Amino acid sequence: MEGTRRRSTTNITKPTHKLIDQDETSTVTGPKPSDALPLPLYITNALFFTVFFSVVYFLLTRWREKIRNSTPLHLLTLSDIVAIFAFIASFIYMLGFFGIDFVQSLILRPSPDVWAAEDDGEDEVDLLQEDARIVPCGQALDSTAPPPPQKIAVVPSHHLKPKVVDEIPFPTTLNEEDEEIINSVVAGKTPSYSLESKLGDCKRAAAIRREALQRITSKSLSGLPLEGFDYESILGQCCEMPIGYVQIPVGIAGPLLLDGKEYSVPMATTEGCLVASTNRGCKAIRICGGAASVLLRDAMTRAPVVRFGTAKRAAQLKFYLEDPANFEVVSTVFNKSSRFGRLQSIKCALAGKNLYMRFSCSTGDAMGMNMVSKGVQNVLDFLQNDFPDMDVLGISGNYCSDKKPSAVNWIEGRGKSVVCEAVIKGDVVRNVLKTSVEALVELNMLKNLTGSAMAGALGGFNAQASNIVSAIYIATGQDPAQNVESSHCITMMEPLNGGEDLHVSVTMPSIEVGTVGGGTQLASQSACLNLLGVKGASKETPGANARLLASIVAGSVLAAELSLMSAIASGQLVNSHMKYNRSNKDVSKVAS
């Protein structure tokens, strides 16, 4: 956790701890009162030290003299008076510089109980150690400089225990009106979800929600950036109740030479080695003339579940839907939902008197879940005329099957089904991949095929397809949860030319991607789609962009499979991961 806590040095009336962000961090390293001194601090200190001890010595000597001479102590000479003034001045100076810091450190030290009440003790030690960092990571990565922070005093609500947050420097300007709204959210009078509609300003809503959340939880969000994001762009489409955004680095692999064209593949990941490994695979493929892909099928699916009084009635609807004579009328009803959704087939399965109807349709450049759902709803309404006893239990009955591992997707496909292949020359296997054709073929058979069979894998006959699928999905605004079925992949490695060369292929039946809709329209994701030349809707051939993106995903998986399998075959895997994928920082200090 990036949140940082430390002992407060200002505006604190009781032993406590508080949240801190970059503003306070800068206060710690910023101007000090001593900066106002005409001389350097160490010279001033030395001067006052000397004065203090000299006058103490002088006054003690004078005191002894007066006692010896029986002179009354209150009779002062000019030098006595000057010495007393010098004594008082130097004493005040030293108290100011050393005494107050000491007294504050005693008063403001948080009691162990306060820490323990919040979190586990060990974590706190780590957090305090982490506080030594001058600039929070999030801030360092944020390319846009936030405006000067404004300090806000918390007005404790009577609904809540007084919070330990005395002041929270905040990187966006919050005015008095905002302060009132924050207090209202903290007090539970204004629902957090209503801020966008009430304020009509998404950025302000996010800022206020975030501030309220920090106060309610007494947890800092200082590492989670707020600035530099278009909150209007996600309203009603991508994310509710935003408080900031998570930064994920995007690496670039390639060029991937696929079907005669080169692509630079953006991968959003925090797994070291992944981009480097994919890059190496791309290199091997490119030297050997590139990879080739074929789109086998393009259809998104949705399967509602309906119930009848008897299994016989459920079967009647199954026969009706699967009769080619009825397809035209059903598809006409389905296709009314969109210019792009075109019904391709309906596959039915019975469970007693319950019927599951798996509608498959093309969806243009959209991933297509919304589109297919609308078409299915049209058909269900239409079927109700001829089957009034049909009880619709759910628009999705999991026979679709979305975001769950399932054999139906592995066997029938969902989204784009793609096969991608390449021939890797023996010398490239040896010189670039540092292994042999024989070792790769054997490892693939024993790991990706036999090993996965032994594990009872469902579509998992590969080494790391999901790594590449997830990284490209996040970079290009796909739904990362669909990584589940989109990563179904069987990797084949077979000897060619008497074992001199290698034929490698990946077959992926369920790549669910789109270039319009969902997260694809957001600025960063859209830039990554643009890099691949597949941004938005294809003007010439609707669906061409999404299909090309699916082929690029498969091509990238092919490259990464080659590279990882080679690393394992040659025993390099552990070494390279130790080098690129293992933090050499003390992780206990970063842990939360």
User: Following DSSP, what letter does each residue of 437-476 receive, concatenated?
Assistant: HHHHHHHIIIIIIIIHHHTT-SSEESSSHHHHHHHHHHHH
- Which tokens belong to 397? 């009955």
CA distance 409 to 433: 33
Residue 364 binds to ligand ADP (criterion: CB under 6 A): yes
User: Measured from the CB of residue 344, what is the shortest distance to ligand ADP in angstroms?
Assistant: 15
In sequence order, which residues have a C-beta less than 8 Å from that of residue 592 and are 6 or more positions away?
1, 3, 123, 126, 127
C-beta closer to ligand ADP: residue 426 or 542: 542
Q: Which is nearest to 346 in space by CA: 318, 381, 305, 312?
A: 318
CA distance 238 to 561: 32
Q: Phi first, then psi: what are they for 475, rounded to 5°?
A: -65, -35
Residue 299 binds to ligand ADP (criterion: CB under 6 A): no
Single out the segment in contact with ligand ADP by CB under 6 A; choices: 197-205, 367-375, 379-387, 422-430.
367-375
Residue 408 binds to ligand ADP (criterion: CB under 6 A): no
User: Measured from the CB of residue 2, what is the shortest distance to ligand ADP in angstroms?
Assistant: 33
For residues 460 and 490, is the Cβ–Cβ distance under 8 A? Answer: no
Q: Which of 340, 356, 387, 399 binds ligand ADP (CB under 6 A)?
A: 340
User: Measured from the CB of residue 419, what is the shortest distance to ligand ADP in angstroms?
Assistant: 23
x/- letters, 152..191, toward ligand ADP (CB under 6 A) = ----------------------------------------
C-beta closer to ligand ADP: residue 31 or 236: 236
C-beta closer to ligand ADP: residue 236 or 388: 236
Whole-number Cα distances in Å, 260 to 263, 286, 420, 539: 10, 10, 13, 21
Whole-number Cα distances in Å, 431 to 279, 367, 497: 15, 40, 18
Q: Which of 152, 299, 305, 366 binds ligand ADP (CB under 6 A)?
A: 366
CA distance 131 to 5: 7
User: Measured from the CB of residue 320, what is the shortest distance to ligand ADP in angstroms?
Assistant: 27
Residue 365 binds to ligand ADP (criterion: CB under 6 A): yes
CA distance 398 to 394: 9
User: Measured from the CB of residue 372, what is the shortest distance to ligand ADP in angstroms?
Assistant: 7
Residue 368 binds to ligand ADP (criterion: CB under 6 A): yes
x/- letters, 537..566, toward ligand ADP (CB under 6 A) = xx---x------------------------
Active-site residue, 203 included: no
Active-site residue, 479 included: yes
C-beta closer to ligand ADP: residue 178 or 402: 402
Which residue out of 118, 119, 131, 271 is catalytically annotated?
271
User: Measured from the CB of residue 237, what is the shortest distance to ligand ADP in angstroms?
Assistant: 8
Q: Which of 190, 269, 337, 338 binds ligand ADP (CB under 6 A)?
A: 338
Active-site residue, 120 included: no
Which residue out of 203, 374, 447, 577 is catalytically annotated?
577
Active-site residue, 178 included: no
Continuous H helices in 347-480:
369-386, 407-412, 426-431, 437-443, 452-454, 465-476
CA distance 331 to 489: 31
C-beta closer to ligand ADP: residue 3 or 519: 519
Q: Kindly report the CA angle at 318 between 313 and 320, in degrees rounded to 5?
A: 95
User: Measured from the CB of residue 274, what is the shortest distance to ligand ADP in angstroms?
Assistant: 27
- Which tokens belong to 459? 């579509």
Continuous H helices in 189-306:
195-199, 202-217, 274-287
Catalytic residue list: 271, 403, 479, 577
Query: Contact positions toward ligand ADP, by CB under 6 A?
Result: 338-340, 363-371, 514, 516-518, 537-538, 542
